[in-house]
Amino acid sequence: MTKISRADVAIDRSIKRRVALPRDVDADLQAYAKLLSTDGDKVDPADLIATMVERFMAGDRQFRQALRTERGVPSRHTIRSGEHAASNGHPRNQGEA
């Protein structure tokens, strides 16, 4: 999983959600925010949640595939009509026709 830096923390508050966190998760979230904070620039733990959830969903292959399917976006592995397997650039298909 990729690390989150201070520059990654979004402070866009366009939609507010109320979230209940277990105490240990909240304590870890506060510790994470403290580690990202600098002397003059404090990070609000609540601002980390959107970035963390966004990264989590971006890393979930099944979720991304389901979204593509739901939205009707073809998979990047789908061969467009009229193309042959030999023309897709994969080394094992070179020379086959």
What's the CA angle centered on 49, arms 44 and 50, to 5 degrees? 110
Question: Comparing C-alpha atoms, which of 75, 55, 57 is closest to residue 2?
Answer: 55
Distance (Å, whole) CA 16 – CA 28:
21
Q: Encoding tokens for residue 29?
A: 């979230």
Question: Comparing C-alpha atoms, which of 2, 20, 10 is closest to residue 44?
Answer: 10
Q: Is the pLDDT of residue 14 over 60?
A: yes
Q: Is the pLDDT of residue 74 over 80?
A: no
CB within 8 Å of 26: residues ≥ 6 apart: 45
Supply the pLDDT for residue 78.
53
Mean residue pLDDT across the chain: 75
Domain ranges in the chain are: 23-75
What does pTM read for this prediction?
0.56
Comparing 54 with 74, which gets the higher pLDDT? 54
